Amino acid sequence: MVNTLFLPELREMLAEDNSAELLEFCTALNAGRTAEFMEGLTEDEMWRVLQFAPPDRRVEIFGYFEEPRQVDLLQTQDAAEVAALIERMPSDDRVDLLQQVTPERFQAILPLLPAGDRRDIQRLRSYEEETAGALMTSEVAMLSESLNVRAALDELAKQASDLETIYYLYVVDDDSRLRGIVSTRQLVSSLRRPDRTLGDLMETDVVVAQVDEDQESVAEKVERYNLLAIPVVDQSHQLLGIITHDDVIDVVRDELTEDAQRIAAVAPLEQDYLRIALWTLSYKRGIWLIILFFAALLTAFALEHYHDEISKYVWLVSFIPLIISAGGNSGSQSATLVITALTAGEVELADWKKVLSREVIVSMVLGIFLATIGYATALFMAPTPLAAMVIPLTLVAVIIVGCFFGAALPMLFQRLGLDPAMMSNPFVAGIVDILGIVIYINIAQLMLG
């Protein structure tokens, strides 16, 4: 829903080059809302409006545009103006965006930046994706432990506008190795004893992220310890940067969305659904569909094998989809519950016996219930009430098998160091489909033949 409320006025102001009113527009509301009112403009218009805002405000408003638009603007607008904007952006955000412009464009912008920013960008670009290094910002308040409260506040006042967050102060030694942290809360609480030093105040047992640590593990720490930001260090405990809480929410969201997609047998998109190339989308879905397809082909061969039995009892055919889907649905329920419980840390591998025994009990309850309905239906189609018993017996067996494998495979894959969300569904579906057919025909042979 694009907000078009101010578009005519904005265009008129632009036509008149009315800098006073455009400045007023850029500063009167909060930056997020200002950005929303600009969404309906063309990119050239957006960029022109931005130029009327004070530089810090410009960066702030720009930060609320949608990411693809941000990339387009950096790609197409005046290089000097773009460089001026990039210079003031948070260091993690600008690197993210610069990864997405063309290499030619990147090389055109880079020389226009001050040497310090250039080095910072090159350094952050060198960290591998999905690690702490790739998420962090290098703007961080590093102070010495000999500073007292009053001096620390003054120092902070000087730096505050350049830093992404000032909610922790990081105390470092001369080699910028992390010694401890002081929260702004502690600093403010100590205002009445302004001669205490940061060394007196600091907490030395600090939760840190290693620069090459996986982003999910970092997010877990931030969540577990309710941190606003986590410091990122290298092997020698040198402080390289911090990761802030808003980046962590993004990681949690991405991680869980990937889980949901993997559970449905789609390789994680890693891009917006509407923006991803159709070719890539086909590929990411195709690989799993093909694996699932081969699993289903096995059922075709199994059924072919029982060709003679089927010719004899054609009424059994009507129930094939029912039986397969009962097993598949209960299996995918179990798999999803176990996967989400593993992700949330509610279940650990050590709980496997408990999980499996719960699944078996639940599947018996569900199986007996569905079998009763199934039997009532089978009575209409089967030649005798005894023959109809094939259906409920098969249903109970297939649902137990579905729940058992649905719960067991994610834990097995986790145990083997594989992603439970990624691997389980196709295997659960494949195993349950084929076992379902085999169980069905064998129960039928036993009962009828």
* Long-range CB pairs of 55-59, under 8 A, 24+ apart, other chains included: 55/84, 55/88, 56/88, 56/161, 57/26, 57/27, 57/31, 58/26, 58/85, 58/88, 59/85, 59/88, 59/89
144 in contact with a copy of itself (CB under 8 A) = no
Distance, in Å, from the CA atom of 62 to the CA atom of 43, rounded to the nearest integer, reads 12
**Residue number with CB closer to a copy of itself (217 or 301):** 301
CB of 118 to a copy of itself, least distance (A): 26
CB of 119 to a copy of itself, least distance (A): 26
CB of 108 to a copy of itself, least distance (A): 30
Distance, in Å, from the CA atom of 124 to the CA atom of 139, rounded to the nearest integer, reads 12
Q: What is the DSSP-derived secondary structure letter of residue 190?
A: G
142 in contact with a copy of itself (CB under 8 A) = no
Which of 14, 341, 438, 447 binds a copy of itself (CB under 8 A)? It is 341
CB of 216 to a copy of itself, least distance (A): 12
Site for a copy of itself in 284-323 (CB under 8 A): 285-286, 288-290, 292-294, 296-297, 299-301, 303-304, 307, 310-311, 314-315, 317-322
Phi, psi of 126 (to 5 degrees): -80, -15
Distance, in Å, from the CA atom of 208 to the CA atom of 205, rounded to the nearest integer, reads 9
The helix/strand/coil state of 265 is coil
Tell me which stretch binds a copy of itself (CB under 8 A): 110-118, 121-129, 170-178, 190-198: 190-198
Tell me which stretch binds a copy of itself (CB under 8 A): 42-50, 71-79, 148-156, 409-417: 148-156
First to last CA, the chain: 64
177 in contact with a copy of itself (CB under 8 A) = no
Element (H, E) at 241: strand 239-244
Q: What is the DSSP-derived secondary structure letter of residue 350?
A: G
The helix/strand/coil state of 233 is strand
Site for a copy of itself in 363-392 (CB under 8 A): 365-366, 369-370, 373-374, 377, 381
Distance, in Å, from the CA atom of 142 to the CA atom of 120, rounded to the nearest integer, reads 16
CA atoms within 13 A on the CB side of 162: 12
In this structure, what token pair is assigned to residue 61?
């408003």
CB of 17 to a copy of itself, least distance (A): 26
Helices and strands in the chain, H and E counts? 23, 6
Which of 99, 126, 272, 385 binds a copy of itself (CB under 8 A)? It is 272
Tell me which stretch binds a copy of itself (CB under 8 A): 75-83, 96-104, 170-178, 334-342: 334-342
Rg (C-alpha) for the chain, rounded Å, is 30
423 in contact with a copy of itself (CB under 8 A) = no
Distance, in Å, from the CA atom of 66 to the CA atom of 32, rounded to the nearest integer, reads 11
28 in contact with a copy of itself (CB under 8 A) = yes
Contact 395, 374 (CB under 8 A): yes
Distance, in Å, from the CA atom of 211 to the CA atom of 240, rounded to the nearest integer, reads 8
Concatenating the DSSP letter of every residue in 26-63 gives: HHHS-HHHHHHHHTTS-HHHHHHHHHTS-HHHHHHHHT
Tell me which stretch binds a copy of itself (CB under 8 A): 42-50, 109-117, 180-188, 208-216: 180-188
**Residue number with CB closer to a copy of itself (110 or 303):** 303
How many other CB atoms sit within 10 Å of the CB of residue 109?
21
Which of 218, 393, 437, 443 binds a copy of itself (CB under 8 A)? It is 437
Which of 324, 396, 397, 439 binds a copy of itself (CB under 8 A)? It is 324
Task: State the binding string over 196-225 for a copy of itself (x if CB under 8 A, else -).
Answer: -------x-xxx---------------xxx
Contact 68, 275 (CB under 8 A): yes
Tell me which stretch binds a copy of itself (CB under 8 A): 81-89, 128-136, 329-337, 409-417: 329-337
Tell me which stretch binds a copy of itself (CB under 8 A): 8-16, 76-84, 111-119, 186-194: 186-194
Biggest CA-to-CA distance, the chain: 95
Site for a copy of itself in 49-88 (CB under 8 A): 64
175 in contact with a copy of itself (CB under 8 A) = no
Distance, in Å, from the CA atom of 326 to the CA atom of 380, rounded to the nearest integer, reads 20
Site for a copy of itself in 89-108 (CB under 8 A): none
**Residue number with CB closer to a copy of itself (6 or 167):** 167
Place of tokens 């030619």: 104
In this structure, what token pair is assigned to residue 35?
């950005």
Which of 182, 337, 400, 431 binds a copy of itself (CB under 8 A)? It is 337
**Residue number with CB closer to a copy of itself (47 or 313):** 313
CB of 115 to a copy of itself, least distance (A): 26
- Give the type of residue at 162: D
Counting every residue written for the chain, the total comes to 449
CB of 107 to a copy of itself, least distance (A): 31
Site for a copy of itself in 222-261 (CB under 8 A): 223-226, 228, 245-246, 248-249, 252-253, 256-257, 259-261
